[in-house]
Amino acid sequence: MPIDPRIQAALDRPLNGKRTLRFRMVRGYVAAPGTGPIGETCHTCRHAEPLGCDRREWICGPVGDHTLKIDRSTKACSRWERSKHAR
Protein backbone atom coordinates (compact mmCIF):
# COMPACT_ATOMS: atom_id res chain seq x y z
CA MET A 1 0.00 0.00 0.00
CA PRO A 2 1.48 3.39 -0.96
CA ILE A 3 2.14 5.77 1.90
CA ASP A 4 -0.36 8.57 2.42
CA PRO A 5 1.17 11.82 1.03
CA ARG A 6 0.06 13.73 4.16
CA ILE A 7 2.01 11.32 6.34
CA GLN A 8 5.04 11.50 4.04
CA ALA A 9 4.90 15.33 4.16
CA ALA A 10 4.73 15.20 7.97
CA LEU A 11 7.73 12.85 8.04
CA ASP A 12 9.73 15.11 5.70
CA ARG A 13 8.99 18.24 7.74
CA PRO A 14 11.52 19.29 10.40
CA LEU A 15 10.37 18.61 13.96
CA ASN A 16 10.65 22.07 15.49
CA GLY A 17 7.66 22.30 17.79
CA LYS A 18 4.07 21.45 18.55
CA ARG A 19 2.67 22.80 15.27
CA THR A 20 4.65 20.31 13.20
CA LEU A 21 2.66 17.42 14.68
CA ARG A 22 -0.41 17.62 12.47
CA PHE A 23 -2.20 14.48 13.61
CA ARG A 24 -3.31 14.46 17.23
CA MET A 25 -4.25 11.48 19.33
CA VAL A 26 -7.87 11.60 20.49
CA ARG A 27 -9.13 9.51 23.40
CA GLY A 28 -11.25 6.58 22.28
CA TYR A 29 -9.48 6.20 18.93
CA VAL A 30 -6.69 3.62 18.74
CA ALA A 31 -4.52 5.88 16.53
CA ALA A 32 -4.65 9.53 15.48
CA PRO A 33 -7.66 10.21 13.23
CA GLY A 34 -6.68 11.26 9.72
CA THR A 35 -3.65 8.99 9.46
CA GLY A 36 -5.50 6.30 7.52
CA PRO A 37 -6.54 5.96 3.87
CA ILE A 38 -7.92 9.13 2.28
CA GLY A 39 -11.70 9.15 2.01
CA GLU A 40 -12.27 6.40 4.57
CA THR A 41 -13.90 6.90 7.97
CA CYS A 42 -14.56 4.83 11.06
CA HIS A 43 -17.93 4.08 9.44
CA THR A 44 -16.27 1.69 6.97
CA CYS A 45 -13.79 0.19 9.46
CA ARG A 46 -14.12 -3.36 10.72
CA HIS A 47 -12.94 -2.31 14.19
CA ALA A 48 -15.94 -0.06 14.90
CA GLU A 49 -18.27 -1.90 17.26
CA PRO A 50 -21.81 -0.95 18.31
CA LEU A 51 -22.43 -0.55 22.02
CA GLY A 52 -26.06 -1.55 22.05
CA CYS A 53 -28.73 -3.14 19.91
CA ASP A 54 -29.89 0.25 18.63
CA ARG A 55 -26.45 0.80 17.02
CA ARG A 56 -26.44 4.51 17.93
CA GLU A 57 -23.27 4.53 19.99
CA TRP A 58 -20.02 3.05 18.72
CA ILE A 59 -16.61 2.32 20.13
CA CYS A 60 -13.26 1.52 18.58
CA GLY A 61 -12.72 -2.20 19.25
CA PRO A 62 -8.91 -2.19 19.77
CA VAL A 63 -9.26 0.51 22.46
CA GLY A 64 -11.68 -1.73 24.34
CA ASP A 65 -12.99 1.00 26.64
CA HIS A 66 -16.78 1.08 26.52
CA THR A 67 -16.93 4.55 28.08
CA LEU A 68 -15.07 6.17 25.16
CA LYS A 69 -17.50 6.49 22.28
CA ILE A 70 -16.40 7.40 18.77
CA ASP A 71 -17.95 9.45 16.01
CA ARG A 72 -18.12 7.18 12.98
CA SER A 73 -17.76 10.14 10.60
CA THR A 74 -14.21 10.69 11.89
CA LYS A 75 -11.44 10.26 9.33
CA ALA A 76 -9.83 6.82 9.41
CA CYS A 77 -6.75 6.13 11.50
CA SER A 78 -3.69 4.10 10.56
CA ARG A 79 -5.26 0.91 11.99
CA TRP A 80 -8.24 1.13 9.62
CA GLU A 81 -9.29 -2.08 7.88
CA ARG A 82 -12.20 -2.39 5.50
CA SER A 83 -15.35 -3.81 7.03
CA LYS A 84 -16.77 -6.75 5.14
CA HIS A 85 -20.15 -4.98 5.35
CA ALA A 86 -18.89 -1.75 3.75
CA ARG A 87 -19.19 -1.28 0.03
Q: Would you tell me which residues interact with ligand SF4 (CB under 6 A)?
A: 29-31, 36, 42, 45, 47-48, 60, 62, 76-77, 79-80
Burial of 77 (0-12, 13-18, 19+ CB in 10 A): buried
Please give the Cα distance from 80 to 41 (Å, whole number): 8
Nearer to ligand SF4, 19 or 27 (CB): 27
Q: How far is CA 32 from CA 24, 29, 85, in A?
A: 5, 7, 24
Contact predicate 58/70, CB 8 Å: yes
Nearer to ligand SF4, 69 or 79 (CB): 79
Shortest distance in whole angstroms from residue 18 CB to ligand SF4: 22
Nearer to ligand SF4, 19 or 87 (CB): 87
